[in-house]
Amino acid sequence: MKLTIPEQILSIAPYEPGKPIEEIEREYGIEKSVKLASNENPLGPSPMAAAAVQENIGNMHRYPDGSWHRLRNKLAEKYGVGRDTIIIGNGSDDIIAILCHAFLGPGDNAVMPFPSFLMYDISVRAAGGTPVRAPLNGMAIDLDAVAGAITPMTRMVFLTNPNNPTGSHFSKNDFQRFLKAVPEDVLVIVDEAYAEFVRDPEAYNALEVPLADPRIVCLRTFSKAYGLAGFRVGYGIMDPAVADILHRVRQPFNVNSLAQVAAAAALDDVEFLEKSVKVMLQGVDFLQAELTAMGLTVHPSQANFFLVDVKTDASRVFQELLKHGVIVRAMGSYGFETCLRVNAGLDSENKTFISALKQVL
């Protein structure tokens, strides 16, 4: 077979997700492993979401609601925005891809911080656009560098707040200053996948007041604080004119019916959300204190994960930790050869990680 593949597509390095727990347990002959690698909610799903899924399981022969009616109404109410400003996706990954397909053509580019979430780069290339990287300043997104990289061919910029994998954030003031440097025809996509964990009151939060600028697209997800990563639900809030374009490109039934039911119920389960955030933030504080006491450097984070510099080859430490049944993320592919990314787990899981790391180091 001789296929003609666009250079653009061949340039994509496939996203490497963390291996599933079952596979690692089989590979290493271990049981009850601890996964602190994908920034998931260690408490599991919201009980209200789980109950709603049970109740609706008999409807799986029907197509999902293609306009996400119930979930969209709940989000509109929660944020005090119009229904026509909301797009729901099969994870926020889906919305990133839809944005790229809708707004990028050959010759167009999208500016993004680097290192940041790798799906921006992949989606931009897949849509035929060119990713333009703006290097971080230390561990933080350099908003001046992002603004400085914008050219007449730039259709969108991505900002991640807090940033994955560094956990850094930018302030309201920094963002307002940045926005002034962005041309009128460039979308500013603010990915707030970890917004629920942010502790700094000065941090920029795109949904604190209804969107103040038609260029801003705010992305959020049910995968992290809400504990629904396996169901794949994310949403974007944006100017209705932008949403209108996305409707032309998206798949008609892009969010499955049980996922919609689960997400709507999870929004009502305020108690679970609050408990989840509390447990994970306590976990971050515990882990950072323990790692600092071990003489390691931890990077400040506004999310449920952070980077720890283990001061040696982190991929080796990652492999050794696997043998102890602990799964974290080595950050070599992001350019941080001596860093692991760890998310907060349950108290017992955090302790298992610390004890395994002490043995490995």
Q: Closest distance between ligand PLP and the C-beta of residue 229, in Å?
A: 6
Which residue of 117, 158, 226, 334 would you call a contact of ligand PLP, by CB under 6 A? 117
Taking residue 342's Cβ as centre, other Cβ atoms within 10 Å add up to: 29
Lookup result for tokens 């900002």? 159
Q: Is 92 in the site for ligand PLP (CB under 6 A)?
A: yes
Q: What token pair was written down for 331?
A: 């950050």
Q: 326-327 and 34-35 as β-strands: parallel, antiparallel, unpaired?
A: parallel
The one-letter amino acid at 102: A
Give the contact letters, 222-261, x = binds to ligand PLP (CB under 6 A), - = no.
Answer: -x-----x----x---------------------------
**DSSP-assigned beta bridge partners for residue 237:** 86, 218
Other beta carbons less than 10 A from residue 20's beta carbon: 11
Of 42, 45, 64, 91, the residue at the interface with ligand PLP (CB under 6 A) is: 91
Task: Give 104's contacts (C-beta < 8 A, 6+ positions apart).
Answer: 110, 124, 127, 128, 129, 155, 156
The least CB distance from residue 185 to ligand PLP, in Å, is: 24
Tokens of residue 42, six digits: 């260690």
Q: Which stretch binds ligand PLP (CB under 6 A): 75-83, 221-229, 306-314, 338-346?
A: 221-229
- CB-nearer residue toward ligand PLP: 160 or 352: 160
Residue number with the smallest Cβ distance to ligand PLP? 91
121 binds ligand PLP (CB under 6 A): no
- Examine residue 191 and tell whether it contacts ligand PLP (CB under 6 A): yes
Q: Which residues contact 149 (CB under 8 A, 6 or more apart)?
A: 111, 132, 133, 134
Q: Which of 87, 88, 136, 193 binds ligand PLP (CB under 6 A)?
A: 193
Listed residue (318, 325, 320) closest to 342, CA to CA: 318
Q: Between residues 92 and 260, which has the closer beta carbon with respect to ligand PLP?
A: 92
Q: Which is nearer to ligand PLP, 121 or 191 (CB)?
A: 191
Nearby residues of 158 by Cβ (< 8 Å), 6 or more positions away: 96, 110, 111, 112, 113, 116, 117, 120, 189, 191
Q: Please report whether residue 161 would count as binding ligand PLP according to CB under 6 A.
A: no
Decide: 193 and 38 in contact? Cβ < 8 Å: no
Quick one: which of 166, 221, 343, 350 contacts ligand PLP (CB under 6 A)? 221
Compute the least distance from the CB of residue 40 to ligand PLP, in Å: 9
The binding site for ligand PLP (CB under 6 A) comprises 39, 91-93, 117, 160, 164, 191, 193, 221, 223, 229, 234
